[in-house]
Amino acid sequence: MMKIEILGTGCAKCQKLEEIVRKASEELGLNAEIVKVKDVKEITNYGVMITPALAINGEVKLAGKVPSLDEVKKLLK
Amino acid sequence: MAQDCCGFGTVLLYSCSGASDVGELADRAVRTLWKEGFATKTCLAGVGANISGFLASAKGADVNIVVDGCPIACARKSLQRVGIEPIAIVLQNLGYKKGDTKVTEETIARVVEEIKAIVKSKIPSSTIISPGCCC
């Protein structure tokens, strides 16, 4: 199963990223586990210095911005 | 520590942290700037090691600033290698000669002010130099 992590402390843009990721996952019909990582120390363990960030199967794909739905779909494919 | 900011005005700061006196000076000046809240220090070694979180953060930041001690410019070249063009500062070009620079609190304070002035002259005026949250 694909593991998708939303890294962010819960700010508005972090919530927006989560919303887009859930929508992308649903539209692609993925069997994915979507997890929110809110603890700053845990986030820095990924090497992430700016949020929101998106990790797929443990690899950080983007940080510091909210991508479009299409961008997220490309990352998830 | 990760910035709470949501991708607006994010400024990341790297130092070469090399073995020489000017490498130490770069490291200590950058740490001082971080503590002052001027920008967020991050790990050059993480970029060199291709750690995805450091790479994604560098690519997602509005501005990346590197401070190298000497003209070998390891920090600048490390970022350029992964396709990022940072604001680059070399302390030796500011008069701090490799092998002949005493790293004192006064020197660090002077370098900190010089870095601030250089960055402010180069950074886009629309970019807020702040590590704080913008949400």
Q: What is the mean pLDDT of each run of 10 residues along chain B (135 residues)?
A: 56 96 98 96 97 97 96 98 98 98 98 96 67 40
At B107, the amino acid letter reads T
Residues A10/A45, Cβ–Cβ less than 8 Å: no
Going by C-alpha positions, the residue among B117, B112, B99 that lies closest to residue B21 is B99
A10-29: pLDDT as tens digits: 889 999 999 999 999 999 99
Integer Cα distance of A66 and B9 in angstroms: 14
The tokens for B34 are 């971080």
Residue B3 has a pLDDT of 54
Is residue A2 among the annotated active site residues? no
Residue B132 has a pLDDT of 36
By CA distance, what is A59's nearest residue in B? B52
A2-64 maps to which CATH number?
3.40.30.10
Residue to mutate among A18, A41, A50, A56, with most B CBs inside 10 A, is A50
Is residue A52 among the annotated active site residues? no
Residues A37/A7, Cβ–Cβ less than 8 Å: yes
Residue B1 has a pLDDT of 54
Residue B123 has a pLDDT of 82
Residue B5 has a pLDDT of 47
The 3-state secondary structure of chain A, one letter per residue:
CEEEEEECCCCHHHHHHHHHHHHHHHHHCCCEEEEEECCHHHHHCCCCCECCEEEECCEEEEECCCCCHHHHHHHHC
% of chain A exceeding 70 in pLDDT = 100
At B109, the amino acid letter reads A
Radius of gyration, CA atoms only, chain B: 14
Q: Any idea where the domains of chain A sit in the sequence?
A: 2-64
pLDDT per residue, tens digit, chain A (77 aa), is: 999 999 999 889 999 999 999 999 999 999 999 999 999 999 999 999 999 999 999 999 999 999 999 999 999 98
For Cα atoms B27, B31, B36, give the angle at the middle one, nearest 5 degrees. 150
Q: How far is A62 from chain B (nearest CA, A)?
A: 5
Residues A58/A3, Cβ–Cβ less than 8 Å: yes
Integer Cα distance of A77 and B15 in angstroms: 36
Integer Cα distance of B89 and B104 in angstroms: 20
B-chain CB neighbours of A65 within 8 Å are: 7, 60
Query: A53 vs B52: CB contact, 8 Å cut-off?
Result: no
Residues B16/B74, Cβ–Cβ less than 8 Å: yes
Residue B135 has a pLDDT of 41
How many CB pairs below 8 A link A and B?
94
Residue B134 has a pLDDT of 38
